[in-house]
Amino acid sequence: MTLKENYMQFTKAVPLRTAYLKHGTFTYRYYRNSRRLAPDVTLVFLAGGTGLGDSFFYMYESLLPKYSFISFTYPMDFPTNASLADAMAELFEQIGARNIYLVGQSYGGLLAQVTARRHPRLIKGMILSGTCSLSNDLDFEGIQNLVHMINPDKTRKSLRMDTYLPMFLLFPLFKWMCRRTIADKKAAELCSGIFDLLKGELSHAYLAHMDTLLGDLITEFGTHRPEDFEPFRNEVLLFFSRDDQIFCNSLKDALIRLMPDPIVVPDLKGGHLAMLLSCEDYLSALDSFLAERNG
């Protein structure tokens, strides 16, 4: 089956829905697993910096028999991480989702932490990959690494580029970045193929929305403490890759310290996109983690 056929099959099996919330509309996909022997677990997928919820579509074939899941592209009615987290919580309550694990990649991992911290009653655990910490005990290296990515000057620069650079130039730029950051040729082609399928969802307004969400993380910077995540003791799975150059080791160590008794997979292959590029190993560890807690 080709990548496009896989995607078409997924969109047919799990169509888009729209929820009308207190402060805006929220478009999402929701598969509710009703199989008797399936664990009563809902996985909520939170995408990285592109914000494209469908970017995980080729993983769902393995997940459909086992779990309920929710995915979405970050809706533009919610321009801050706090408002987005609150909207997610309202959505989960509206549709009756239960035993929720937030599955966050990169930026999605940081959004997961914001959401869990704000709504611990609704969230059971977190599964985080290629991400870092916004904790209050970062060393100089960690602060320097994180501030380089989310400082106001960087946000303004990204907003200018994503607002004024023509879309026909942005697409090749993204593919070039894939080739530069992903050493494995087949892996780079996979990411490029996924982007080609989903690029119709992108617009100048949406890219600016993502820049704003990323820049808004500065409001959370240094505010997260271990006691905030105590409700998730032994319910956090962390994936790291030795090839991931986005976040320094100091930030990874800070995330481990922040979470109470996390399970850590330290050496998933594939760099920053290891969850996509080492999908079988990722899903195997995820299944084991969830089975031990929800068997």
In the chain, the number of structural domains is 1
- pLDDT of 38 reads 65
- pLDDT of 28 reads 98
The per-residue pLDDT for range 192-205, each reduced to its tens digit, is: 788 888 888 888 99
Calpha distance 64→117 (Å, rounded): 28
Tell me, what CATH number does 11's domain have? Answer: 3.40.50.1820
Whether pLDDT at 81 is above 90: yes
Question: Residue 32 is which amino acid?
Answer: R
Nearest to 223 by CA among 108, 113, 79: 113
CB 14 within 8 A of CB 60: yes
For the chain, give the mean pLDDT.
89
The neighbour count for residue 169, using CB atoms within 10 Å, is 9
To which H or E segment does residue 216 belong?
helix 204-216
The per-residue pLDDT for range 99-154, each reduced to its tens digit, is: 999 999 999 999 999 999 999 999 999 999 999 999 988 888 888 888 888 888 88
The per-residue pLDDT for range 203-252, each reduced to its tens digit, is: 899 999 999 999 999 999 999 999 999 999 999 999 998 888 888 889 99
To which H or E segment does residue 191 belong?
helix 185-198
Domain extent at residue 222: 3-294
